[in-house]
């Protein structure tokens, strides 16, 4: 699997998710089987580049190659400048956000709202490609199927992006209007794949190894992008990789392994965010990790009252110590919940 001249170890990608796929989470997913991970979206507005939020999103310390940064905005010149800015800070691949359905993003006509203005969308693609090409940095595009059921223009926009020099297109199988509701559909992704010569990535509702195989077979996609299913379950990437390789489900991880992965993730997380922000932003990651485990809901409620990193770490350590005594292998409830959705 290649993106331009860059070879990837496999075709399982971490979807860029604002507020989730920061550097610690990307590195954890890569350790547990993902072949590629894209940063949270970085604004193209120069005035915000030195803000704490943007500086954290642009932090790639210790992250293994390739470094991929997603940029978001509506002005072609600003987007080109943002691409160069992030390349100067280590980006080896630049991804254009035309997939985010969040209201605060779409209200500025960025994200998936750009799909409703194909002329502007194409000018942005052309400007970013022109900025990246001299530096031999490939450009990718993340998009949705269209604005709504009646306006699915993914094939047309993807063709134009390919002609403009984009190296890969990722398609989330929902419209902007759907947000994250309803079910993803894969016919549009299959149509995009059939229409293009560059790599196409399928995204949306891929939450089990069996679902991953089914989506690959239905769409013919070159790779899979997984988002929400990796929250609290980052080992889903190695589960899918194993299933695609040999057709068998991988055994659930040992509870002690999950404990170790989470504690290491928390230390990396605190290192990026500091004490005050770190303990608060870590709550969601801990909550995702325990939500389907015995006693998880009660633990999450208690953990959310803790106000320092050391106490939070001790609470996680104790919870998994007690869980491991009863369940040396992670209980099946977490897997069963996902299997029902497949």
Give catalytic residue positions.
100
Cis ω before 175 (30° cut-off from 0): no
Q: Quickly count: other Cβ atoms within 10 Å of residue 245's Cβ.
A: 10
Beta strand residue intervals within the chain, DSSP E: 2-3, 6-7, 12-14, 36-43, 68-72, 93-98, 139-144, 168-172, 199-203, 223-226
> By CB neighbour count within 10 A (0-12 exposed, 13-18 middle, 19+ buried), where does 221 fall?
buried
User: Distance between CA atoms of 63 and 82, rounded to whole angstroms?
Assistant: 20
Q: Are 258 and 330 in contact (CB under 8 A)?
A: yes
Dihedral over alpha carbons 257, 260, 261, 266 (to 10 degrees): 160
* Residue pointed to by tokens 């642009």: 58
- Measured CA to CA in angstroms, residue 304 lies from 162, 297, 311 at distances of 46, 11, 11
Report the sign of the C-alpha dihedral through residues 235, 236, 237, 239, in that order.
positive
**Mapping DSSP to helix (H, G, I), strand (E, B) and coil, where does residue 183 land?**
coil
């Amino acid at each position: 699997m290649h993106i331009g001249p860059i070879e990837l170890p496999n075709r399982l990608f971490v979807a860029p998710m604002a507020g989730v796929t920061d550097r610690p989470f990307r590195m954890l997913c890569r350790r547990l089987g993902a072949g590629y991970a894209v940063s949270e979206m970085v604004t193209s507005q120069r005035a915000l580049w030195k803000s704490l939020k943007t500086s954290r999103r642009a932090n790639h310390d210790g992250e293994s190659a390739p470094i991929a940064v997603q940029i978001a905005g509506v002005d072609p010149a600003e987007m080109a400048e943002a691409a160069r800015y992030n390349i100067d800070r280590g980006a080896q691949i630049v991804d254009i956000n035309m997939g985010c359905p969040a209201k605060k993003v779409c209200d500025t006509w960025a994200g998936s709202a750009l799909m409703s203005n194909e002329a502007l969308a194409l000018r942005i693609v052309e400007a970013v490609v022109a900025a990246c090409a001299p530096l031999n940095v490939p450009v990718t595009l993340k998009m949705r199927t269209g604005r709504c059921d009646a306006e699915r223009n993914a094939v047309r926009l993807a063709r134009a992006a390919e002609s403009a020099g984009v190296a890969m297109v990722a398609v989330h199988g929902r419209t902007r209007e759907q947000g994250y509701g309803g079910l993803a559909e894969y016919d549009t992704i299959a149509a995009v794949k059939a229409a293009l010569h560059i790599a196409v990535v399928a995204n949306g509702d891929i939450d089990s190894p069996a679902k991953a195989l089914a989506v690959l077979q239905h769409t013919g996609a070159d790779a899979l992008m997984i988002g929400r299913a990796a929250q609290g379950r980052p080992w889903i990437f190695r589960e899918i990789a194993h299933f695609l390789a040999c057709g068998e489900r991988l055994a659930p991880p040992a509870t002690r392994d999950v404990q170790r992965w989470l504690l290491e993730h928390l230390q990396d997380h605190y290192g990026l965010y500091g004490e005050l922000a770190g303990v608060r932003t870590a709550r969601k990651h801990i909550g995702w990790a325990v939500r389907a485990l015995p006693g998880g809901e009660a633990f999450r409620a208690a953990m959310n009252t803790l106000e320092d990193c050391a106490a939070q770490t001790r609470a996680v350590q104790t919870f998994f110590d007690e869980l491991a005594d009863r369940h040396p292998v992670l209980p099946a409830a977490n897997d069963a919940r996902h299997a029902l959705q497949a």
